[in-house]
Structure 1
């Protein structure tokens, strides 16, 4: 009986330990996302909503061509919501729409040079915030090790 309790505790501890790195990784990613979003909001430049950013990133990070209908299906939102997001992205010259010459009922979403530059900027900010977060984590580990010793 005592052995069974010990085994259950050991199993529970192992499960908790296996989740810890995932939680730590998720915490780091969420921190990087927060720091990136704060940097984007603070700087001079377009301030996109979550939906607009999702549409933008989907168009720029996935190679295949995109349509309003396809984006709506992929992001699980209505076509009018995609249209509003694309209206804003078009105002900022981050994306543009063009009628598909092969199927005039379909609207294609095209990338722009300004949009590509904006994506480079996002990547740069994320790289910087990720590097800072990594250094902060290393510093905390060193301090914790010193205290434990």
Structure 2
């Protein structure tokens, strides 16, 4: 009984190891795509957002529900003043704007802008190009390694 249990544990471990290696490889690729995207955004003419500003921007544009300063602070687990500073910068760049909620004047709604939608489209394009380049690089690497072995 103990031997069969040990065997099943070893069998399970041999199945988990490739999955962990695949997950690590995928994570490495995603981090590389993120790096390439951020480098492209920094190099081009246009807004240069901090990670907090980018997090606020992406949360507002990728999640459909209406956003408030209070809700963004809770979702991102940062203070309301930090969200306000991020929104100040996004407002300066016309990537988002704040509006008093007509139903609850104590609440401030965050609205999307046309310029913000265009910026998101640009981010998607840059990420798509970076992801495609990584995919090509991944496909070419094994071919080169195979040629060396031959």
Q: Give structure 1 regions of 4+ aligned residues with deviation exceeding 4 angstroms.
A: 1-11
Map 1:20-59 onto structure 2 (within 5 A): 20-59=21-60
Q: How many residues align?
A: 149
Post-superposition offset of 1:146: 3.5
> 1:134 — aligned with what?
135
Q: Give the match for residue 119 of structure 2.
A: 118
Specify whether residues 5 and 73 from structure 1 end up closer, same or farther in structure 2 by C-alpha distance, changes over 3 A only: closer
What runs of 5+ residues in structure 1 fail to find an aligned partner? none
Relative to structure 1, the CA distance from residue 20 to residue 64 in structure 2 (aligned partners, 3 Å threshold; closer, same or farther) is same
Normalising by structure 1, we get a TM-score of 0.91
Task: Say if 1:74 and 1:3 are closer, same or farther in 2 by CA, change over 3 A.
Answer: closer
Tell me the distance in 2 between the aligned counterparts of 1:74 and 1:3: 47
Task: Give the CA deviation at 1:12.
Answer: 3.8
**TM-score, L = length of structure 2:** 0.91
Distance 1:148 1:6 in 2: 35
How far apart, in 1, do the equivalents of 2:4 and 2:61 lie? 56
Cα distance in 2 between the residues matched to 1:51 and 1:145: 43
Q: Which runs of 5+ in 2 are unaligned?
A: none
Residue 89, structure 1, aligned to residue 90, structure 2: yes
